[in-house]
Amino acid sequence: MICNFCYRACDIKEGGEGYCHVRKVHDNHLYSSGYGYLDALDIDPVEKKPLYHFLPGTKTLSVVEAGCNYHCDFCQNWQLSQSEKSSNSTFVTPEKLVELALQFKVPSISFTYSEPIVWQDYVINTSILAKKEGLKTIMVTNGSFSKESLKVLYPLIDAFNIDLKGDAAYYKRVCNGDIEPVLNGIEYMVEKGCHVEVTTLLIENIHTETIIKNLGKALKQRGVNVWHLTRFFPSYKMKDRAETSEKFLANMINIASASGIPYIYGGNTSSVYSTFCSNCKRELILRDRIDYSVRKESLRNLENGYCIYCNNPIYGVFD
Ligand code: SF4
């Protein structure tokens, strides 16, 4: 049976499983082995996703099922992404999850930490219910959508943070993946009017100035407005590699800025990245040094999504 959740389109035989180890076939039935088994249920500032232009200053209910369709050596969340359903997980129905979000009085639910594309049946069922209750939905993803999943997900998900990990060679060599579905996914979601922010994890001595220049060009062409460049820390199969330095990050942010993408931020850094108006350059949204959460009073620098100083529209969803 063919799984249509991601671009890999695995053909799974009876008793077998797909590349992600999550999708399985039993009794001629294709199913997700960890459906509803959550390994984390946290309340985070939405800035931690990272999303800097989507309901800034609010909290989101973050949930995860184990599993991923990539096996990247540098994975920063490998305990969750590279496992199947764990013994510590808790079964939470979509109905219960929406009820919890309402109880916690958060405006959004985030599907995050591993790869929600491989557990999108749970994402879809929860999002349908969440929308009926006026909740927003967020997906933090590697962007390796199938054509079918793009069509199903875009009306149900309000905001995406999509990874763009490197160039085509990097996807092949480090992720055993393919850059094309990711770029197509970014383009599709931007065209459909979803809120999109992109993240690139920078590894020093792997990501070069040329790579960042080319990625910036590709994102700009696809209408991306917000790009996060985050520092790598040794993890999973890359524990022997040094963490990315602040100096390297700062240099890459300079290179990225030449792309013309109006909002570029550093992540996993001791520097504070505020949002500046792309027109008058005034500082609009200030963030906390420790957890990047927003200084609430600074949100008054925006009125209905416009800069109060020059009336420039700021990309994002602000209420
Ligand atoms: S989600 Fe992707 S990797 Fe997993 S079985 Fe389906 S097509 Fe294969």
Q: Whose CA is nearest to atom 2 of ligand 1?
A: 6
**142 pocket-lining for ligand 1 (C-beta < 6 Å):** no
**5 pocket-lining for ligand 1 (C-beta < 6 Å):** yes
pLDDT exceeds cutoff 90 at 310: yes
Domains of the chain, CATH where assigned: 36-271 (3.20.20.70)
Tell how far the Cα of 189 is from the centroid of ligand 1, in angstroms: 20
Phi-psi region of 113 (alpha: psi -120 to 50; beta: other; left: phi over 0): left
- Residue among 21, 26, 69, 114 whose CB has most ligand 1 atoms within 8 A, to mutate: 69
Question: In sequence order, which ranges of 133-202 are alpha helices (DSSP H)?
Answer: 147-153, 168-170, 179-191
The pLDDT assigned to 172 comes to 92
Q: Whose CA is nearest to atom 5 of ligand 1?
A: 18
Which of 78, 76, 82, 94 lies closest to 38 in space, CA to CA? 94
**30 pocket-lining for ligand 1 (C-beta < 6 Å):** no
Q: Whose CA is nearest to atom 4 of ligand 1?
A: 20
Q: What tokens does 269 get? A: 């850094």
Q: Whose CA is nearest to atom 1 of ligand 1?
A: 118
**Phi, psi at 140, each rounded to 5°:** -105, 115
Q: Collapsing DSSP states into helix, strand and coil, what is residue 11?
A: strand
- Point out which residues pair with 161 in neighbouring strands: 140, 197
Tell how far the Cα of 22 is from the centroid of ligand 1, in angstroms: 8
DSSP secondary structure letter of residue 211: H
- Residue that wins the pLDDT comparison between 291 and 278: 278
Mean pLDDT over 15-32 rounds to 95
**Phi, psi at 151, each rounded to 5°:** -65, -35
**6 pocket-lining for ligand 1 (C-beta < 6 Å):** yes
**Phi, psi at 310, each rounded to 5°:** -130, 0
pLDDT exceeds cutoff 80 at 33: yes
The pLDDT assigned to 270 comes to 85
Greatest Cα-to-Cα distance within the chain, rounded to the nearest angstrom: 63
Please provide the average confidence, as pLDDT, over all residues in the chain.
94
Phi-psi region of 147 (alpha: psi -120 to 50; beta: other; left: phi over 0): alpha
Quick one: 118 exposed, middle or buried, by C-beta within 10 A (0-12, 13-18, 19+)? Answer: buried
Residues whose CB is less than 8 angstroms from the CB of residue 146 and which lie 6 or more positions away in sequence, other chains included: 4, 5, 6, 7, 9, 181
Q: Give the pLDDT confidence of 68-78 residue by residue, as tens digits.
A: 999 887 777 77
The pLDDT assigned to 120 comes to 97
- Point out which residues pair with 299 in neighbouring strands: none
Tell how far the Cα of 175 is from the centroid of ligand 1, in angstroms: 15
Q: What tokens does 217 get? A: 């060009």
Residues whose CB is less than 8 angstroms from the CB of residue 185 and which lie 6 or more positions away in sequence, other chains included: 143, 144, 145, 150, 162
CA 263, CA 180: separation in Å to the nearest integer? 24
Amino acid letter, 239: K
The pLDDT assigned to 87 comes to 67
What single string gives the DSSP state of each residue in 93-125? -HHHHHHHHHHHT-SEEEE-SS-GGGGHHHHHH
Q: Give the pLDDT confidence of 119-178 residue by residue, as tens digits.
A: 999 999 999 999 999 999 999 999 999 999 999 999 999 999 999 999 999 999 988 899
**Do 169 and 133 contact (CB within 8 A), yes or no?**
no
Entry pTM: 0.96
